[in-house]
Amino acid sequence: MADIFEKLLKNAGPLGQHRERAHGYFAFPKLEGEIGSRMKFRGKDMVVWSLNNYLGLANHPEVRKADADAAAAYGLASPMGARMMSGNTDQHEQLESELAAFVFKQDAILMNFGYQGIMSTIDAICGRHDVIVYDAESHACIIDGLRLHPGHRYVFKHNDLEDFEKQMQRATALIEKQKSGGILVITEGVFGMAGDQGKLKEIAALKGKYDFRLLVDDAHGFGTLGKTGAGAGEAQGCQDAIDLYFSTFAKSMASIGAFLAGDKTIIDFIRYNIRSQIFAKSLPMPLVIGNLKRLEMLRTMPELKEKLWSNALKLQAGLKERGFDIGKTDTPVTPVYMKGGVEEATAMVMDLRENYKIFCSIVVYPVIPKGHIIYRLIPTAAHTDADIQETLIAFTETKAKLDAGAYKVEAIPDMAEKK
Ligand SMILES: Cc1ncc(COP(=O)(O)O)c(C=O)c1O
C-alpha cells in the first residue's frame, strides 16, 4: 500500500511547483507597515494595489480605536461556545438586525467566515431532489458548496442569459420528472476577477418564467455599489428579488466574518440548521463590535464610497487612454489584460516591484488560460492621485518592455525568501 503522503511529495500541484523560486515573493509575499496605499515590501516602500480595503477602513483611526477598545474590554475569548449553546450576545443580534436593515432584508445571520458560510448555507437549504443552477465563474466557496450538494447541478456560461435559460429548462424538466424538489440559482453581485457585475436584474426578471430562489454572493458589491452601499442588487434595482443576500466582511469592511440576509422565516431556519455555525465558536466580541462600527461608517460616511469610485474611475480612464485592455469591469475591480508566459509575467512583476515600486497581484496559468496575464488592481478610498499617476507611468513603460520581449526569461526568477 502506498503512503498517502507519497504522491504529495512527487507533485506539489500547479502553483506549488514554483514554490522553490517563488515563495515569499510571487507567492506568500509579506507586506509590512500600516495598511494603506503605500506599504513596505522587502524593505522598500511600494504603492499597493492588492488589498480589498475598498473604503480605506482598515487603518481608519475610528476603526482602529473601536477594535482596540473592544479588545481591551472583552479580549478575544468572549463569548465562549457556539451561538446556539452559550456564545450568543445582544451585540451579535444587534449586528444582525443592523445588517439586515442595511441590505433591505428582514433578518440576517452572522457567519465566522464567508467561505464556510456559503458552503454551509448550500448544505442547509438544498436536499437531494433540489437542483442548483450556477454561474460558471462562481467563487471557489460556491463551487465547494456544490460538492456538498447531493442533488443535480447545472452550470451556465458566465453571465450568458441564453445559456442560463437553457439550464433552467433542464433543471425544471428534471424536477417535473422527479415530482419533487426546487431550484436554487447562485450567482455573484460582482465577479472579483474581471470586475463585471452579475446579471441580477435580468435573472430576476425571469422569476415569472421559471420557479426558483436566488442566492447572491455580493462580497465585492457590499459597501461599494448602490446608492446606499447595499450592493449590486440595489445598484441594479432588484434587491427585492434576491432571496438570500450574502457578503463577507473581508472586503469593504476590512474585517473578518460574513452574513446572510433574507426573509425572517428562512433565516431562522438557517440559524438552526447551518452546521458551520452550530458546530463552531461564536464570532469574537471585538470583531462583532468592530463590525458594528464599520457598518455605522458605511451608513454615515458616503464620502468613502465616493472617494473609492473617483479613484477607480481615474485609474480606469488613465489605463484606457494609454491603450490598456481592462475588459468589462463596471466596478472598482480593475483587471489589466496582457499576453505572455508565466515566466515573462513574473519577470515583469519583479521589474514593477524592484524598479518602479508598484506592488500588484498577477494572475497566470493555470488559473487562467496559457499565454494570458492579468494584473488585478484594487483601487481604494485610501489611494492618492500620485499613486495613480506613478502606476500609469510604470504600466506604460513595463508594457512596452513586455511587447519588445525584454522579459523573456528561461525560468521564473528566483526570488524566494532565503532563511
Ligand atoms: C466572492 C467571494 N465570496 C466569498 C469569499 C469568502 O469570504 P471569507 O474571506 O469571509 O471567507 C470571498 C473572499 O473573501 C469572495 O471573494
Residue 290: pLDDT over 90: yes
Q: Is the pLDDT of residue 252 over 80?
A: yes
Answer whether 117 contacts ligand 1 (Cβ < 6 A).
Answer: no
- C-alpha of residue 318 to centroid of ligand 1, in Å: 29
The CATH code belonging to domain 61-300 is 3.40.640.10
Closest CA to 87 of 287, 295, 293, 291: 287
**Which pLDDT belongs to residue 166?**
98
Q: So what's the pLDDT on residue 21?
A: 86
Answer CATH for 10-54+302-403 from 3.40.1260.10, 3.90.1150.10, 3.90.79.10, 3.40.50.2300: 3.90.1150.10
Q: How far apart are CA 30 and CA 40, in angstroms?
A: 9
The residues, any chain, with a CB within 8 Å of residue 191's CB and separated by 6 or more, are 135, 137, 158, 159, 197, 198, 220
Could you tell me if the CB of 139 is within 6 A of ligand 1? yes
pLDDT at 96: 98
Of 258-267, 326-335, 341-350, the range with the lowest mean pLDDT is: 341-350
Q: Give distance in angstroms: CA of 222 to centre of ligand 1.
A: 12
Q: What pLDDT, on a 0 to 100 scale, did the predictor assign at position 244?
A: 98
Task: Identify the bridge partners of residue 374 per DSSP, sorted by sequence position.
Answer: 337, 363
192 lines ligand 1 (CB under 6 A): yes
The alpha helices in 151-247, defined as continuous H runs, are 161-178, 200-205, 232-235
Instruction: State the distance from the centre of ligand 1 to the C-alpha of 215, rounded, in angstroms.
Output: 15
Using CA atoms, how far apart are residues 375 and 360, in angstroms rounded to an integer? 7
CA nearest to 139, candidates 171, 113, 169: 113
Spell out the residues 6+ positions from residue 174 whose beta carbon is closer than 8 angstroms to its own.
131, 152, 181
**Exposure of 44 by Cβ count < 10 A (0-12 exposed, 13-18 middle, 19+ buried)?**
exposed
| DSSP helix/strand/coil, 262 | strand
CB distance 195 to ligand 1 below 6 Å: no
For the residues 227-234, what does the mean pLDDT come to? 98
The mean pLDDT value for 255-279 works out to 98
Indicate whether 17 pLDDT > 90. Answer: no
Residue 217 pLDDT greater than 90, yes or no: yes
Amino acid at 289: I
Joined grid coordinates for residue 82:
457556539
Query: What pLDDT score was predicted for residue 146?
Result: 97
Which residue's CA is the closest to the ligand 1 atom numbered 16?
219
pLDDT tens figures, 77-95: 999 999 999 999 999 999 9
Least confident residue range of 21-30, 106-115, 390-399: 21-30
- Closest approach atom of ligand 1 to CA 256: 10
- Domain coordinates of the chain in residue numbers? 10-54+302-403, 61-300
Q: How confident is the model at residue 413 (pLDDT cuts 50, 70, 90)?
A: confident
pLDDT of residue 48: 98
114 lines ligand 1 (CB under 6 A): yes
Say if ligand 1 is within 6 A of residue 250 CB: yes
Q: Is the pLDDT of residue 419 over 80?
A: no
Query: Average of pLDDT values for 375-396?
Result: 97
Question: What's the confidence (pLDDT) of residue 417?
Answer: 85
Residue among 383, 380, 379, 377 at smallest CA distance from 363: 377
Q: What is the pLDDT of residue 367?
A: 84
Cis peptide before 79 (omega within 30 of 0): yes
CA of 403 to the centre of ligand 1 (A): 35
The rounded mean pLDDT for the chain is 96
Which pLDDT tens digit goes with each residue over 332-357? 999 999 999 889 999 999 999 999 99
CB of 115 closer than 6 angstroms to any ligand 1 atom: yes
> Span 348-371, mean pLDDT?
92
- Centre of ligand 1 to C-alpha 115, Å, is 5
Mutate to test the pocket of ligand 1, among 99, 188, 248, 251 (most ligand atoms within 8 A of CB): 248
Q: Are strands 258-262 and 107-111 parallel, antiparallel or unpaired?
A: antiparallel
pLDDT grade for 300, boundaries at 50, 70 and 90: very high
Determine contact, residues 258/58, Cβ cutoff 8 Å: no
Estimate the share of the chain in helix, then strand, then coil, as percent rounded to the nearest 5.
40, 15, 45
Residue 123 has pLDDT above 80, yes or no: yes
Predicted pLDDT of residue 80: 98
- What ligand 1 atom has the least distance to the C-alpha of 258? 10
Q: What is the pLDDT of residue 368?
A: 86
190 CA: nearest ligand 1 atom: 1
Q: Which three cell numbers stand for residue 11?
A: 507533485
Is the per-residue pLDDT at 156 higher than 90? yes
Expressed in angstroms and rounded, the spacing between residue 219 Cα and the centre of ligand 1 is 6
Cα separation, 89 vs 10, in Å, equals: 49
Q: What is the pLDDT of residue 369?
A: 87
399 residue type, one letter: K
